[in-house]
Structure 1
Amino acid sequence: MSKSKTIGVLGGGQLAKMLCDSAKKMGYTSVILDPSSDACGKFSANLHLIKDYTDEKSLKEISELSGVITYEFENVPIESVEIIEKIGGNIPQGKTPLYLSQHRIREKNAVRDLGVKTAKYKQVSNIKDLKEALNEIGVPAILKTCSGGYDGKGQWKIKSESDLNNIKLESKEYILEEMVNFEKEVSCLVVRGTSGEVVNFPIGENIHKNGILNLTVVPAEISKRLEEKIIENSKKIIEKLGIVGPLGIEFFIAEEEIYFNEMAPRPHNSAHYTMDACNYSQFDIHLRAILGEKIPKIKLLKNVVMLNILGEDKEKLEKIQKSKKGIVHIYGKNSWEIGRKMGHVNFCGNDIDKLIELAKSF
């Protein structure tokens, strides 16, 4: 493998797999570092280093093999990036995006300081803090762990003070957030290159089921004013925070106002539609950004509805495959567990209402 034509990826999940697919399409080889021998990224990577993320020997090896290194998920240890930087590896995104996105208070503070609107929130660490914060914020509210939670895990909805009886706080940091009575959740993926240029993908409207993303509808049914405001705020966040690479940002819409929800410095589940509905996928642009290449203008070629396939959706998947009405992407994970993301399907066409109906029909 030629170092100048090799891309290293910290993490070996489905996002790494699709990054490696894009790398191959662009004429690059790839190497992933992931401690699991079952990591599905191995099916697309040229080399899989099965070691812990902080293993110095492996970080040195991936640095020596790769012309550029990236990460596929936001919980890669910051220590890994520090080791790579110390030994002279090329990791353009650096540790700042991880530092911010790994802690909800840091993330919210950074965005609020830019003048981007958020729901009310307070940091809490014990029941006394929680009761005081609840008196200030009111109900309904949502309590989340400051780090580590995803897909509805590490979260508790509080509709009345009696709900506190069901919550047992451990020695962790938590964030209590006002629960916004939103009409829609939307997401915007922005990507910033090493030269500072920024592009955005079309805004998607997200529909969840049991706390996990179920459908993303593109284009989102929102006003032109809101669309412009979401893009403006997304570009402000990635530019002012100096983030390089992709940044998936979720917003709530309530009464023609937008509220920042959360962000992730990686390819985003809600942007998987880009693989079949845009002139370039989010993975293609991610790689171009960190490689320092000129980033092309993004175009939506057709309307699309993206459907997540979870571990409980085997029968649904079989029906979709038999119908031949969607473009199926399966990640190759070894066990189909309830709630686990196993793949996605893109339904592309002209009539967005018919696409939504089709995606919901299986």
Structure 2
Amino acid sequence: MKITKGKVIGILGGGQLAKMLCEAAKELNYKTLVLDPSEDACARFSADTFIMANYDDKEALKTMAELSSVITYEFENVPTLSLEILKELDAYIPQGNRPLYISQNRIREKTAVAKLGIRTAKFKVVKSQEDLKDAITEIGYPAILKTTAGGYDGKGQWIIRDESDLKEIETGKTECILEEMINFNLEVSCLVVRGVNGDVITFPVGENIHKNGILHMTIVPARIDDELKKEVEQISKKIIENLDFVGPLGIEFFIGKAGEIYFNEMAPRPHNSAHYTTDGCDSSQFHLHIKSICGEKMDLPKLIKNSVMLNVLGEHKKYIENFKDNENEILHIYGKKEWKINRKMGHINFTGNQLNEIIERAESLYLEGK
């Protein structure tokens, strides 16, 4: 189904991803309607229409269904109930709720990918202290325990290096997954997009560096050989095609010591690690998200400049107060009201010809602010 230009795209969720989706939609001559429960939603003033309501508000969802030609979501924790209500109202949601259902639970996610023959870390379900002891006996140390639902940027995760760590963890309050801790060289990610018309494209593979469990920077192109990049792209296409997902899918991988590729996790939405595409590629992830769900043709995006995306957290406010944009250093601020520690407030895209110089420029920003 092709959506006519000028029609309304409904977006569930009003965070920074929705804000950037609204901006891309406007450039592509679509209108947007955002539904979010927060009066301070980042996308409130970027959308053509904003509905402040809970995600399960039936009247609000009815209005959304009536006014929108197509509906999408900007984060993976939108309640699947919202989509079920919208479907009953005959709303057009090309992505459906299956990507949410799978990605909202780490057990379902890992199981679905492993069934495709794609390598993952060893994992076990943990619902009790006894389960945890049995799982650690099978998987061994070191391992990482994660809640199966929720949790992000290092939250809801516990590293278990030995028996003393095991004794300090309480289980039974929520379902968890115990994963083997992979000894990897680096982490990479790939944003793959599948259109309702069958097009499948991948953005250039990025290399991710984390600090305290939060993405610090993404370096593009990733510093791995071309064969590995092609393999990451092929695996990403295999996942989105075989799981029959439509829209964007951000996938994170570990590259092992011998060059082996491990699936880590995925999110059916625009991805933090692909924010570089706004300034480093000829089409951004947000433009191709819109095109994918509206039935437009998607051309393979090209990297036009080597790029480094640097996240700006709440504690970095003093470092960027006097920041000045230029052709190769562009600041994107999300408009969140309160600058909290470890909260993602924006990002900076650094671009140029020499990758090492760009990385040094990005790292020096915080050093200069100290």
Task: Name the TM tier (shorter chain).
Answer: over 0.9
Give the equivalent residue in structure 2 for 1:338. Answer: 341
How far 1:319 moved relative to its partner? 4.8
Give the equivalent residue in structure 1 for 2:96. Answer: 94
How far 1:5 moved relative to its partner? 1.1
Give the equivalent residue in structure 2 for 1:34. Answer: 36
CA deviation string 1:297-326 (max 9, x = no partner): 211101000000000001221253388851
Matches within 5 A, 1:187-198: 187-198=189-200
How far 1:200 moved relative to its partner? 0.3
- Distance across 1 between alignment mates of 2:98 and 2:274: 22
Q: Quick one: which of 293, 307, 317 aligns to 1:290?
A: 293
Q: Give 1:278's aligned amino acid.
A: C
Q: Aligned in 2, Cα 1:166/1:323: closer, same or farther, shift over 3 Å?
A: farther
Q: Aligned in 2, Cα 1:302/1:323: closer, same or farther, shift over 3 Å?
A: closer
Q: Is the aligned partner of 1:249 residue 2:251?
A: yes
CA deviation string 1:172-191 (max 9, x = no partner): 11000000011100000000
DSSP 3-state at the match of 2:250: strand
* Root mean square deviation, CA, Å: 1.3
CA deviation string 1:198-248 (max 9, x = no partner): 000000000011110010000001112211110110000000000000000
Does the CA-based 8 Å contact 2:193-2:249 persist in structure 1?
yes
Give the equivalent residue in structure 1 for 2:59. Answer: 57
How far 1:195 moved relative to its partner? 1.5
Give the equivalent residue in structure 1 for 2:356. Answer: 353
DSSP 3-state at the match of 2:85: helix
Q: Is the aligned partner of 1:302 residue 2:305?
A: yes
- Distance across 2 between alignment mates of 1:4 and 1:306: 32
- Distance across 1 between alignment mates of 2:90 and 2:363: 49
CA deviation string 1:309-344 (max 9, x = no partner): 000001221253388851010010000000111000
Q: Give me the TM-score of the superposition, normalised by structure 1.
A: 0.98
Q: Give 1:313's aligned amino acid.
A: H
Give the equivalent residue in structure 1 for 2:368. Answer: none
Q: Quick one: which of 271, 274, 277 aligns to 1:271?
A: 274
- Distance across 2 between alignment mates of 1:322 and 1:345: 9
Instruction: Give the percent of matched residue pairs that are identical in Structure 1 and Structure 2.
Output: 60
Q: Is the aligned partner of 1:226 residue 2:232?
A: no
Does the CA-based 8 Å contact 2:333-2:345 persist in structure 1?
yes
For structure 1, list consecutive stretches of 5 or more residues without a partner in the other structure.
none
Q: Quick one: which of 150, 153, 168 aligns to 1:151?
A: 153
- Distance across 1 between alignment mates of 2:324 and 2:164: 47
Q: Quick one: which of 265, 270, 284 aligns to 1:281?
A: 284
Give the equivalent residue in structure 1 for 2:19. Answer: 17
Q: Quick one: which of 123, 126, 131 aligns to 2:128?
A: 126
Kindly report structure 1 stretches of 4+ aligned residues shifted beyond 4 Å: 322-325
- Distance across 2 between alignment mates of 1:269 and 1:181: 24
Does the CA-based 8 Å contact 2:209-2:216 persist in structure 1?
yes
- Distance across 1 between alignment mates of 2:150 and 2:90: 29
Give the equivalent residue in structure 1 for 2:114. Answer: 112
For structure 2, list consecutive stretches of 5 or more residues without a partner in the other structure.
366-370
> How many residue pairs end up in the alignment?
361
Does the CA-based 8 Å contact 2:328-2:352 persist in structure 1?
no
DSSP 3-state at the match of 1:40: coil
Does the CA-based 8 Å contact 2:77-2:100 persist in structure 1?
yes
Q: Give 1:162's aligned amino acid.
A: S
Q: Aligned in 2, Cα 1:74/1:321: closer, same or farther, shift over 3 Å?
A: same
